[in-house]
Each structure stands twice: as C-alpha cells, then as structure tokens.
Amino acid sequence: AEAAAAAKTAADAKVTETGTAFTDARVAASRAVTLAREAQKTASRKLDDAKEELAFYEDMEGACEPNEAVRIALSGPKQVTAGQPAVFSMRVTNTSDRTLDLVDVYVNALREPDLDEDIDEDTDFEKWVLPVEWSSADAPAWTSVGEKFEAIELGELAKGAHHDVKLRLTVAADAPAGEGSIYTFGQYENNDGTCGMSLDDAYADFGILAAKGDKPKPAPTPTPSPSTSTPAPVTTTGNTGTTQQGGSSTTPVTTGGTLAATGANDVLPQLGLAAAGAVALGAGAVFAARRRKAGPRA
C-alpha cells in the first residue's frame, strides 16, 4: 500500500511537472508569435515609409532639376589649427535671367578620415563632421548651422545679384593633424512653383595642424582680404571661381540674415535635408577616392 501511494504521488508530481512545462511552452510560444507579429508590423511600416520616401524623392527629383542658376564661390585658409576658429568666405550669385524668390545654402565640413580607418557604404560620417557657424554684414552675430535650422536662408536674390557670407569652423582642440574639407550646396524655389539646385557643389580643402601645448588659445577671428589671404581653390565647374573675401552684397541677407525654418515651404526644407546628406556622402566618396590614389602616408 505504501509503495502504491508513493507511486501515485510520484505520478501526480510528474503530471504536475508536465503540465507546468506545457503551460510554460504555451506562454513562450504565445510570446514568440506576438513578437513575430510585432516584427512583421514594424517591417511593414518601415517598408511603407521607405516607399513613401522613394516616391517623394522621385517626385522631387523630377520637379527640381540641377542647373547653374545658383553659383557658389568658396575660399579660405589652406591650413587650420585644431582648437582655433578658421573663417571661409562664400559668395552666392544668381546667374539666371530672373529673380529667385527663396535661396537656401547648405553647408557641411568634415575632417578627412585617416588612411587606416575603414570606409564603406555603412560608414557613419557624423564622427568626422566639424561644427560650422555663419555670419554676414546684415547679421554679424555668429549662428550655428545645423543645430536648430538646416540651412542658411538668403531669401530673395535678384538677377545678377549676390550674397556674401562668412563661414567659421573649429576643429576639436584634441584632433590630430590631418586634412579636411568644407562643402556648400545651393538651391532655390520660386513663388510660381519652379525650383532648382546647384549643378555642382563648391568646396575647399585644408590641412589640419595639431594644437600646440595642452591648452591652445583661440586666435582672433581673422578678417580675410584678397591681398592677404591665400584662398583654397574652388574646383567645381558650377562656380564663378572668384575668391572675394567679404565685401558688401548687392542684395543683403534678408530678415536680419535669419536661417530657414522648417516648414517654410513644402519642397525646399526636405530637398535640403536630402542635399545635405548627399553632400556628406559625397565627401565620404571623395575621401575614399583620395585614399585609393594616395596610398599610405609617409
């Protein structure tokens, strides 16, 4: 009788254990199904978003064609010291046969990766981005590019007129010696719905010198002039190639030189974000091409 009772107790325990395991398995299976469904929903949403983005950019590409209406000339120092500001001069000119109602300029500056740093299609160029500020005669206070607004809004630009803007970048004080570049990209939109973007980017290359001492002292912001500065070459065919350092504009920056606020119009801000990203990716492509040609540094 005792053996039978023990056997029954053991059997009951086994049934309970089996039932618990079955319940746990059901719960795990239910969770797996739920996660799979959520993953499917997320993937579906991402696919829908990607389709919408693709459709948007396809429409945008057809609406705003690259042309030479907006040309940018960029010049500045050939050497930049880490921890100290460096000022570049940018002239944006309307070469079209009409007034452009809204002109925006996007700016990116990057430190060139070292030769031993891998670059591929998945590379994140954000770690090489250099902070840039802008200023003009009409808005002399330095304003950061890219923190609150995506672009420098120049506003209306008459036929044949130009805007002069200063661009100031600062390489981190602890950055090693190397090379860098600053890129600019222009675009416009008119009240009649026509729009366009720069046929070519304007850019200037510069060397980066390591800071001297533990705490480098920032140098005063230079005021370049044609007679004293050595401008970096502007190699793009879409620009005038001039190297003016400052000077008054025939059409000063409008509304106090304010930046373009997101939502000011339907097309331009979104187009500009894509353009800015394209400029950064283009910079990475340039870096990669230079690396292949240059080989190891001495």
Residue among 7, 285, 294, 289 at smallest CA distance from 125:
285
In sequence order, the β-bridge partners of residue 196 are 65, 188
Q: What is the model's pLDDT at position 36?
A: 65
Residue among 79, 64, 56, 244 at smallest CA distance from 165:
244
Q: What is the model's pLDDT at position 161?
A: 97
In sequence order, the β-bridge partners of residue 64 are 195
Selected residue with higher pLDDT from 176 and 5:
176
Does the pLDDT value for residue 17 go beyond 50?
yes
Rounded CA-CA distance 96/159 in Å is: 6
> 148-165 burial, b for 16+ CB within 10 Å, e for fewer?
ebbbbbbbbbeeebbbbb
Task: State the average pLDDT over residues 225-238.
Answer: 36
3-state secondary structure of 78: coil
Range with the poorest average pLDDT among 73-82, 180-189, 266-275: 266-275
pLDDT tens readout for residues 119-173: 666 777 777 889 999 999 988 999 998 766 678 999 999 999 999 999 999 999 9
Distances (CA, A) of 71 to 30, 147, 161, 174, 216: 61, 25, 11, 35, 37
Selected residue with higher pLDDT from 262 and 249:
249
Range with the poorest average pLDDT among 113-117, 196-200, 237-241: 237-241
Q: What is the model's pLDDT at position 56?
A: 53
Return the C-alpha torsion angle 160, 224, 232, 171, nearest 10.
Answer: -120
3-state secondary structure 203-217: EEEEEEECCCCCCCC
Q: What is the model's pLDDT at position 126?
A: 76
Q: How many residues does the chain have?
A: 298
Rounded CA-CA distance 138/165 in Å is: 10
* DSSP H/E element including 45: helix 2-63
Task: State the average pLDDT over residues 61-85.
Answer: 89
Rounded CA-CA distance 48/42 in Å is: 10
Q: What is the model's pLDDT at position 9?
A: 74
Range with the poorest average pLDDT among 8-12, 35-39, 133-137: 35-39
Mean pLDDT of the chain: 71
